[in-house]
Amino acid sequence: MKYLPNGQQVYTDSTMKSWTKEELVKYVRMCERNITALAERVENQAKLLKENTHANSASKIQSHWRTIGNISGFVACDKCGYWCGTKSKYCPDCGAEMDEEEHNNV
């Protein structure tokens, strides 16, 4: 059996195909809550980093954001700050085109 770092069990496709629609919706909602919690934690870390970093070290902040993206599999939209998957071509929140170069760096 596989588990995510947070202890969440990873289910196989065959297991999930046998679930009822209600069970799938419940699982998707739980995943959405987990992603929201992760995004809030990352945002809080970024705020702390920004508050505790001198203005001349912008490259360190940018490097930290890339590290966060590598860990979480998400990048922040340059226009609205919404966190979305690295494979997204457009921000699902504001519709802005995602920076291709940023995606390649993650």
Question: Tens of pLDDT along 48-87?
Answer: 877 776 554 666 666 666 666 656 667 777 777 777 776 6
* Structural domain boundaries, residue 23: 2-105
Share above pLDDT 90 across residues of the chain, in percent, rounded to a whole number: 14
**Positive or negative torsion for Cα 46, 50, 52, 53:** positive
Number of domain units in the chain: 1
- For residues 16 and 74, give the distance between their C-alpha atoms in angstroms, rounded to a whole number: 24
CA 63 to centroid of chain Cα atoms: 16
What does pTM read for this prediction? Answer: 0.46
CA angle at residue 59 from 57 to 64, to 5 degrees? 105
